Amino acid sequence: MDLTYSKEDESFRQTVRTWLKANVPKKDKTLSDLPPNDPQRIQRAKDWQRRLYEAGYVALGWPQAYGGQGDTDIMRQTIVNEELVLARAPGLIGASGLTMLGPTLLQVGSEEQKQRYLPTVLNAEEIWCQGYSEPGSGSDLASLRTKAELVGDEFIVNGQKVWTSGAQFSDWMFCLVRTDPDAPKHRGISYILIDMKTPGITVRPLVQMTGDAGFNEVFFEDVRVPRENLVGELNQGWLVANATLFHERNMLGSTTRTQLMLQNLIRLARSQSRYGQPAAEDPIIRQQLADLTTRVEAMKYHSFRQLTDATRGRQPGIGAMVNKLVGTELNHDICALALEIMNSYAPLNRRASHVIDNGIWPYEFMFTLGLIIGGGTSQIQKNIISERGLGMPKAR
Amino acid sequence: MDFGLSEEQDLLQRSAREFLAQECSPQFVRALLDDEQGFSPALHRKMAELGWTGLLVPEKFGGLGLGLLDMALLLEEMGRAVAPGPFLFSSALATFALMRGGSSAQKKAWLPRLASGEAIATLAFLEASDRLDAAGITLKARKKRNGYLLSGTKMFVPFAAVADVFVVAVRTRGKGEKGVSLALVERDAPGLTIQPLDIFDRTRRVYEVQFKETPIAGFLGKEGKGWKLLAQLQDLACVGLSADSLGGAQQALDMAVEYTKVREQFNRPIASFQALKHMAAEMVSEIEPARSLVWYAAYAFDSRASDASRAASVAKARLSEVYTRTTNKAVQMHGGIGFTWEHDMHFWFKRAKWNEFAFGAAAYHRERIAHFDGY
């Protein structure tokens, strides 16, 4: 055990940090007042990812043949992730393509698919959205009913997807569709790539409790998709999606964001007066802050441990299965305490007078609740941990 | 950057687990519940033969010269086995006190005997006030012609009945941290009497120890300058107890999961019910990240990191609660049988409570974290 970084890693970190300092886009008040889907904002987000990519800091591990860096050093990937958070850099607009589609194509895509799609995922020329959930298929994703009939060399797609983040500005969707209605539910699904400009697609924004319209309903009416857009084998889509659905290692570096949130929370507690004294002097608030600290520290070292396992080439064990459950609930609990500290000021919206920290806390309080649900609810996570991790039998 | 165990450490932990499964089974623990001293000389001897009692002791005094991280792996396995006995107090705490505070004569006199398992030591720290700070140390050591004499009482002294030597926190003057000294007192010193306290965790015996004009065998370090080492011993104890709690929590989880797989109700194994699966998953989601807290706290202690004390408090605060919550759920997952004396689960349930309060409960350590973090 040795928590010091090698000279090479330290100097790489310095290089990344210096580049980010010079290049992270400054907050632009006129832009941030625009709705999140405003074309100007989208373009700016694309520009940011492209510049980060050109600097060599996007998806380091992807092979050079498809525009990647071919740098499989997990430590450097983690350093980039950490520094992005520390520099308070905006998130990447192409995240779905980078974390979900890309790894899937790299694993099971055809050579043509990899060459066609991966380079534009990296430089944000094309943005992808994920077409998984449906109104009737949430936690029971494999029951999905959006139908794709193979007619000649085309799929004809009919049905509806929901909770589709970014569909309104996405160029493509990677989508799970039912291609064999008679097979057992897991064995009649295919994974296809749909051009969002194809006739028959309607995107309808869904407003979240935060007031943002971050995700959408997507309707398909006789949408024609070329057969070559099938990824993997016909009716093997469930396996294709699952190959990367639980990319636990994507969590690496994400605890940095939680650490930053905790720092901001402690700053808030020290500056905010509550019932006549600084919140940080209230014994109960102190206990809660320190309790969150122990949980954040645990996740920090837990991620170090997984990082070490990964660099040693070990398979992630049961420890990695808890990342999503613990991480999302921890983030939400941090925000919940922030609201408690802010008390009467907690419900103030971003534009309200007297608002604290630009209203980020109530916004994040709601947003992080969404993350507890999205990508497999906490309850589903607990099923995964107990069934796959502990070998407890499925309910009959 | 490497945050994992070495091959040797993996091996140490694995072999400790196998040894304890063999030599310290639940039946063995159960038999010791009724033992007058709660101590097995045979087990202690076997652990000594494996080098465990000398794990921290430098090689030149007959030990292995390893660190707290290695010790924590052993303690984790002892927690898993709810091993009864003075190991933590003798081979970790008192031994470390002698290593850091002892003169070369004191080291020569005690470390080889402690390492070989021939002698057992313990720490007499708390008093009736149950305070953990320097003000809690009021047992007076008065200077006489031939040295210092102790008169007063120490409380909750672990395994006093089998200790050959006591590391006793005493006050030689003043009120605060200055004036606290660590005295070495031998078991047969005149005026030293012990009284067992009947407690529910019979794997962790504690005693009231009285001193009446009892001569000390010298100080560890300088007279009046013992607080720093005592504070370090508290950190060490927090890491050690956290490791014990980690192993115990893991064992309670394993036992509960195993039981639910074989216990059938409503014509199916109860492990197929989500209510129980989710309890088990919650236990995992607390235990796994907590493991890294123990590792880090031990590593920080060994490398004398500037945040070593904070790390000890973070681990103790978290593990205190995780162990208690885990054993509570494990008992419930067993249903009625888990509440019986006949079933073993109460060993861990009770140990969790002992560990929770010893050397500061979670709330005490959270307040310390708040101090360390400047709020």
> What digits encode the pLDDT tens for the residues B290-309?
999 999 999 999 999 999 99
Partner B contacted by A316 (CB < 8 A): no
Size of interface A-B (CB pairs under 8 A): 161
Residues A197 and A266 in one domain: no
Q: What's the rounded Cα separation, in Å, for the pair A249 and A9?
A: 19
User: A252 and A373 in one domain?
Assistant: yes
State which residue of chain A sits closest to B285, comparing Cα positions: A322
Residues A224 and A349 in one domain: no
Domain boundary among A205, A236, A267: A236
Task: Tell me the per-residue pLDDT of B171-210, one tens digit each, with 9 for 90 and over.
Answer: 999 999 999 999 999 999 999 999 999 999 999 999 999 9
Task: Region of A26 please: left (phi>0), alpha (psi -120 to 50) or beta.
Answer: beta
- The residue length of chain B stands at 375
- Asked, for residue A32, whether it belongs to a domain, the answer is yes
- What CATH number belongs to B123-225? 2.40.110.10
Whether B280 and A386 lie within 8 Å, measured CB to CB: yes
* Same domain, residue pair A217 and A257: no
Shared domain check, A259 and A225: no
Shared domain for A369 and A274, answered yes or no, is yes
Query: Does residue A252 carry a pLDDT above 80?
Result: no
Cβ distance of B280 and A396 shorter than 8 Å: no
User: Is A308 in Cβ contact with B3 (below 8 Å)?
Assistant: yes
Domain residues for A66? 7-93
Categorize the per-residue pLDDT at A213 as very low, low, confident or very high, splitting at 50, 70 and 90. Answer: confident
Predicted pLDDT at B337: 97
Alpha-carbon gap, residue A330 to A382, rounded angstroms: 15
We report the CATH number of the domain holding residue A57 as: 1.10.540.10
Asked, for residue A396, whether it belongs to a domain, the answer is no
For residues A351-360, give the mean pLDDT: 95
Q: Which residues of A touch B293 (CB under 8 A)?
A: 294, 297-298, 301
pLDDT for residue A247? 54
Same structural domain, A378 and A261:
yes
CB of A389 within 8 Å of any CB in chain B?
A: yes
* Candidates A319, A321, A382; nearest CB to B282: A382
Give CA separation, B300 vs A155, A347, B306, in Å.
59, 41, 8
Q: Do A294 and B6 touch (CB under 8 A)?
A: no
User: Could you tell me the CATH number of the domain that includes residue A382?
Assistant: 1.20.140.10
Over 90: is that where the pLDDT of A254 sits? Answer: no
Residues B370, A5: C-beta atoms closer than 8 Å:
no
Residues of B in contact with A280 (CB under 8 A): 370, 375
Beta bridge partners of A278: A273
Residue A329 maps to a domain: yes
Handedness of CA B357, B234, A297, A310 (dihedral sign): negative
Minimal Cα–Cα distance from B285 to chain A, Å? 5
Q: What is the pLDDT of residue A246?
A: 58
Cite the DSSP H helix spans in A124-277.
237-245, 255-271
Options 1.20.140.10, 3.40.50.300, 3.40.50.720, 3.30.360.10; which CATH number does B228-372 get?
Answer: 1.20.140.10
Tokens coding A107: 């694993």
A71 with A199, same domain: the answer is no
Residue A320, in any domain of the structure: yes
Test B281 with A382 for CB contact under 8 angstroms: yes
Cβ-nearest to A9 among B1, B292, B363: B1
**pLDDT tens sequence across B28-42:** 999 999 999 999 999
CA dist B241 and B248 (Å) reads 10
Portion 241-280 of A in contact with B at CB < 8 A: 266, 269-270, 280
b/e string for A58-93 if b means 16 or more Cβ within 10 A? bbbbbeeebbbbeeeebbbbbbbbbbbbbeebeebb
What 8-state DSSP symbol labels residue A135?
Answer: T
Total domains present in chain A? 3
Chain B contact for A396 (CB, 8 A cutoff): yes
Residue A394, in any domain of the structure: no
Q: Is residue A254 assigned to a domain? A: yes
- Are A25 and B25 contacting, i.e. CB atoms less than 8 angstroms apart? no
Kindly report each contact of residues A372-376 with a partner whose C-beta sits within 8 Å and lies 24 or more positions away, as own/partner.
Answer: A372/A328, A372/A329, A372/A332, A374/A163, A375/A324, A376/A139, A376/A324
Q: How many CA atoms lie within 13 A of A96 on its CB side?
A: 21
Name the residue facing B1 among A4, A321, A322 (closest C-beta): A4
Give the right CATH number for B7-119 from 1.10.540.10, 3.40.640.10, 1.10.10.10, 3.10.129.10. 1.10.540.10
Instruction: Measure B35 CA to nearest chain A CA, in Å.
Output: 36
Amino acid in position A207: V
A119 occurs within a structural domain = no
Is residue A220 domain-shared with residue A300, that is, in the same domain?
A: no
For A322, nearest residue in chain B (alpha carbons): B285
- pLDDT top residue among A35 and A260: A260
Same domain, A329 and A225: no
- The domain limits of chain B are 7-119, 123-225, 228-372
Q: Name the burial class of residue A186, with classes exposed (0-12), middle (13-18) and buried (19+) by CB atoms within 10 angstroms of its CB.
A: middle
Distance from CA of B347 to the nearest CA of A (A): 23
What residues of B are in contact with residue A289 (Cβ under 8 Å)? Answer: 370, 375
Which of A70, A93, A116 is the last residue in one of the domains?
A: A93
At B88, which amino acid appears? Answer: L
The answer to whether B123-225 and B228-372 have equal CATH topology is no
Which of A281, A302, A382 shows the shortest C-beta gap to B292?
A302
Does residue A241 lie within any of the structural domains?
Answer: no
Mutate to test the interface with B, among A392, A394, A396 (most CBs of B within 10 A): A392
Give the mean pLDDT of A269-285. Answer: 96
Q: B284 to chain A nearest CA, in Å?
A: 8
Residues A87 and A161 in one domain: no
A249 has pLDDT over 50: no
Query: What integer pLDDT is reported at residue A250 of this predicted model?
Result: 53
Question: Which residue in the block uniquely carries the two structure tokens 């101090």?
Answer: B371
Which of A191, A210, A236 terminates a domain? The answer is A236
**Do residue B373 and residue A266 have CB atoms under 8 angstroms apart?**
yes
**Would you say residue A74 has pLDDT above 90?**
no
Mutate which of B276, B292, B319 to test chain A, going by most A C-beta atoms within 10 A? B292
DSSP A89: P
**Nearest residue in chain B measured CA to CA from A269:** B375
Please check whether residues A168 and A253 belong to one and the same domain.
no
Nearest CA in chain B to A329: B285
Task: Give the A window 319-338 contacts with B, CB below 8 Å.
Answer: 319, 321-322, 325-326
For the beta carbon of residue A54, count every other beta carbon within 10 angstroms.
11
> Could you report the per-residue pLDDT of A331-355, keeping only the tens digit for each?
999 999 999 999 999 999 999 999 9
User: For all residues of chain A together, what is the average pLDDT?
Assistant: 93
Across the interface, of A266, A302, A386, the residue whose CB is closest to B277 is A386
- Measured between CA atoms, how close is A5 to chain B, in angstroms? 5
| CB-closest option in B1, B317, B365 to A75 | B1
Cβ-defined contact of A305 to B291 (cutoff 8 Å): yes
Contacts of B268 in chain A (CB under 8 A): 393, 396
Full pLDDT tens readout for chain B, 375 residues:
899 999 999 999 999 999 999 999 999 999 999 999 999 999 999 999 999 999 999 999 999 999 999 999 999 999 999 999 999 999 999 999 999 999 999 999 999 999 999 999 999 999 999 999 999 999 999 999 989 999 999 999 999 999 999 999 999 999 999 999 999 999 999 999 999 999 999 999 999 999 999 999 999 999 999 999 999 999 999 999 999 999 999 999 999 999 999 999 999 999 999 999 999 999 999 999 999 999 999 999 999 999 999 999 999 999 999 999 999 999 999 999 999 999 999 999 999 999 999 999 999 999 999 999 999
**What pLDDT was estimated at residue A245?**
65
Nearest Cα of chain B lies from the Cα of A249 at a distance, in angstroms, of 15
- A230 min Cα distance to partner chain B (Å): 36
pTM for this model (two decimals): 0.95
Q: Which residues contact B329 (CB under 8 A, 6 or more apart)?
A: B256, B279, B280, B282, B283
Give yes or no: A248 in active site.
Answer: yes
Put simply, the answer to whether A266 touches B299 (Cβ < 8 Å) is no
Q: Which of A125, A154, A248, A329 is catalytic?
A: A248
> What was the pLDDT predicted at A248?
42
User: What residues are paired with B185 via a beta bridge?
Assistant: B166
DSSP B88: I
ipTM: 0.97
Task: State the nearest Cα–Cα gap between B215 and chain A, in angstroms.
Answer: 43
